[in-house]
Amino acid sequence: MNTPREILLRQHQAALPKLDAIRAGVVAAIVRPPAPEPISWLQMARSLRWHLAAWGAAWVVVMIFNTDHSPGAVAMIPRDKIPAPQQIWASLRESRRLLLELTDAPVAEPFAAPVRRSEIEPQQLVV
Amino acid sequence: MLVVAECEQLPVQQAKAGEPEAWNALFRRYQLPLYVYVFELVRDEQSALDIVQETFIAALRHIGSLREEAKFGGWLFGIAHQKCLQSWRQQNRAADMRDELAQSPPDLDDGPDQVLIRREQEEQFMMLLNELPLPQRSVLLLHFVEDFSLEEIAQITQTPLGTVKSRLHYAKRALRKTLEDQ
Cβ-Cβ contacts under 8 Å, B32 against chain A: 9, 12-13, 15-16, 19
| Domain residue extents for chain B | 12-94, 99-181
What's residue B179's pLDDT? Answer: 77
Tell whether the model's pLDDT for residue B64 goes beyond 50. yes
Task: Compute the distance between CA of residue B48 and CA of residue B34 in angstroms, rounded to an integer.
Answer: 9
3-state secondary structure at position A39 = coil
- Which band of pLDDT confidence, cut at 50, 70 and 90, is reported for residue B4? very low
pTM of the model: 0.62
Provide, rounded to the nearest whole percent, the portion of chain B with pLDDT above 90: 51
What's residue B105's pLDDT? Answer: 43
What's residue B141's pLDDT? Answer: 93
Task: Compute the distance between CA of residue B178 and CA of residue A25 in angstroms, rounded to an integer.
Answer: 41
Tell whether the model's pLDDT for residue B160 goes beyond 70. yes
Shortest Cα distance, chain B CAs vs residue A3, angstroms: 5
What's residue A34's pLDDT? Answer: 67
Provide CB contacts within 8 A for B98, sequence distance 6+: none
What's residue B91's pLDDT? Answer: 75
- Does A69 contact B at CB distance below 8 Å? no
Contact B26, B41 (CB under 8 A): no
Task: Compute the distance between CA of residue B113 and CA of residue B50 in angstroms, rounded to an integer.
Answer: 33
> Are A23 and B35 within 8 A, CB to CB?
no
Minimum mean pLDDT among A86-100, B5-19, B103-117, B150-164: which range? B103-117
Query: What residue ranges of chain A have pLDDT lower than 50?
Result: none
- Which band of pLDDT confidence, cut at 50, 70 and 90, is reported for residue B109? very low
CATH number for the segment(s) B12-94: 1.10.1740.10
Please enumerate residues of B whose Cβ is less than 8 A from a Cβ of A: 2, 4, 17-20, 23-24, 27-28, 31-33, 35-36, 39-40, 45, 48-49, 52-53, 56-57, 60, 114-119, 122, 125-126, 141, 144-145, 147
What's residue B125's pLDDT? Answer: 86
**DSSP per position, B109-174:** ----S---B-GGGHHHHHHHHHHS-HHHHHHHHHHHHS---HHHHHHHHT--HHHHHHHHHHHHHH
Q: CATH top-level class for B99-181?
A: mainly alpha
Q: Which one-letter DSSP state was computed for residue A49?
A: H
ipTM: 0.81
Task: Compute the distance between CA of residue B57 and CA of residue B71 in angstroms, rounded to an integer.
Answer: 18
What's residue A1's pLDDT? Answer: 77
3-state secondary structure at position B25 = helix
What's residue A119's pLDDT? Answer: 67
